[in-house]
Structure 1
Amino acid sequence: MTEQDNTDIIEEARKVFSGPIAFLKSAPALEFLPDMAVNEVAFAGRSNVGKSSLLNALTNRNTLARTSNTPGRTQELNFFDVGEPLRFRLVDMPGYGYAKAPKDVVRKWKFLVNDYLRGRAALKRTLVLIDSRHGIKEVDTDMLDMLDGAAVSYRIILTKADKIKASELEQVFVATAAAIRKRPAAHPDIIATSAEKGMGIPELRAAVLESVTQG
């Protein structure tokens, strides 16, 4: 992709995310999933990784996705319609690594996510959020294994990049790239973001738009 192409898709993505975006529905089980009228991009991440804040920054809304300091608040698949007419959907997946949740609830979430990943033809890419202060942890590795097993294309998004020094961020960036290099379903490019400062948000918007329009 040329520099002009990159500039064009960033501008197009800015326009798309400045338009209509609305919550569609929550799906606690597969039978509640919406029709597959358009392509989807899902967001996955460990509880408290900053997923809701990033979704709000991505869509330039303050309350589109709920934010909470309580891990595991998102317990369903939440769908958001983007564009009018409808262009694509964003899917907020249940956070993982929820140590305080009952085991039967954790099991239910895991089955829901795994079944969605394996059976959703409309899903074009999953964006896996990793806290830049911690890098890839064991619970993240479990998620990456699940995505590789389901043959679902995914891309790593580093969150809270403003919370660490630039030199530390670079180290996390290099280590993360090395960790995913041999993973079959991983996109090689990583985006570092800050929902609070707006860092990487234009690039993230472009990555979402590219995911749903390619091929």
Structure 2
Amino acid sequence: MLRLQRLRRLAGASCLLRRRSATWRSSTKNASFSEVLQLEDTKLTGVVFPLQGLERYLAPGVNTASFRIFNPGLDHIHRAEALFKPSGRHVIDYVSSAVRMDHAPQLSQPEVCFVGRSNVGKSSLIKALFSLAPDVEVRVSKTPGHTKKMNFFKVGKYFTLVDMPGYGYRAPQDFADMVEAYLQERQNLKRTFLLVDSVVGFQKADHIAIEMLEEFGIPYVFVLTKIDKAPKGLLVKNVLEIQDFAEKHTQGCFPQLFPVSSIEYSGIHLLRCFIAHVTGNLPMMNS
């Protein structure tokens, strides 16, 4: 509690400056962890640890151990945010796009990639992760299947983030060849983030993607998107079903899922911290 109070005091000055801009607040409220730290405890938990925020909606006796496997302190989350803030020496930028592996940039730093069904909110999530770097151009479209190439974003000297084309509706014709080659050949790939829509849950195409990741032995993790749009009962149902599936039917999946809202920034700070950790930039615990 004392550590939380200290973090809140440290964050207070920067929040006062930000609040002078009504436009900024309307578009990126809660994007900065310093602003989240000003929330009262219940709201803070809901924004930073969405799984834990759902516990009050669960039936008695439901096992929530998997809700806290990756459970960093607020100070770790605060430190991880620095990776997503550009500075003179720390440049965050789009690098290039590729439709084939021989077109992909040869980068040595650790890499993470984001995959998911068309219209699952993948580009919106990446834009939210990079919200503290407004000069980074992440194209977001309401049209499913907008992303047709592998888009590479370099986060300083620390890691690269790859936005993959969506699978399913309006997927590129060469999607399978492109993605399979990337997953099998990219030696510096540390984690694949598989996005699932919280409103509709698993779809047939998601199971195909899971089979591919399991076959290739690729470490991956489920990210549950658009949690601001899902009724609480439906959200709890899908969370428990996906957690149960990960525990019983997968080998390479991290047993804790990450619910997020790109609109309200729920789960974004924890996801930033997890990315920092799996890329070796914030050693804390095994994952």
With normalisation by structure 1, the TM-score equals 0.90
Please name the residue that 1:33 is paired with: 104
Which amino acid is 2:262 matched to?
A
Q: Please, what is the CA RMSD of the aligned residues?
A: 2.0
> Higher strand share goes to which structure?
1
TM-superposition CA deviations, 1:150-177 (whole Å, max 9, x none): 1110000000000012222111100011
Please name the residue that 2:60 is paired with: none
Which amino acid is 2:242 matched to?
T
Residues 2-41 of structure 1 mapped to structure 2, 5 A cutoff: 5-19=72-86, 20-41=91-112
Which shifted more, 64-73 or 145-154? 64-73
Task: State which of 191, 195, 205 in structure 2 corresponds to 1:125.
Answer: 191
- The answer on 1:71 being equivalent to 2:144 is yes
Distance across 2 between alignment mates of 1:2 and 1:134: 25
Q: How far 1:4 moved relative to its partner?
A: 8.9
Uncovered stretches (5+) of structure 2, i.e. residues with no partner: 1-67
Which amino acid is 2:78 matched to?
E
Rate the CA distance shift 1:122–1:14 in 2: closer, same or farther, 3 A: same
Question: How many corresponding residue pairs?
Answer: 208
With normalisation by structure 2, the TM-score equals 0.68
Task: State which of 171, 179, 200 in structure 2 corresponds to 1:134.
Answer: 200
Task: State which of 239, 258, 261 in structure 2 corresponds to 1:194.
Answer: 261
Which amino acid is 2:271 matched to?
L
Uncovered stretches (5+) of structure 1, i.e. residues with no partner: none
Q: State the identity as a percent.
A: 35
Task: State which of 150, 161, 169 in structure 2 corresponds to 1:90.
Answer: 161
Please name the residue that 1:56 is paired with: 127
Please name the residue that 1:210 is paired with: 277
Rate the CA distance shift 1:152–1:4 in 2: closer, same or farther, 3 A: closer
| Runs of 4+ that moved beyond 4 A | 1-5
- SS of the residue aligned with 2:228? helix
- SS of the residue aligned with 1:163? coil
Task: State which of 234, 239, 242 in structure 2 corresponds to 1:173.
Answer: 239
CA contact under 8 A between 1:55 and 1:64: conserved in structure 2? no
Rate the CA distance shift 1:3–1:120 in 2: closer, same or farther, 3 A: closer
Q: How far 1:3 moved relative to its partner?
A: 9.5
Which shifted more, 52-61 or 132-141? 52-61
CA contact under 8 A between 2:113 and 2:161: conserved in structure 1? yes
Which amino acid is 2:206 matched to?
D
Rate the CA distance shift 1:110–1:200 in 2: closer, same or farther, 3 A: same
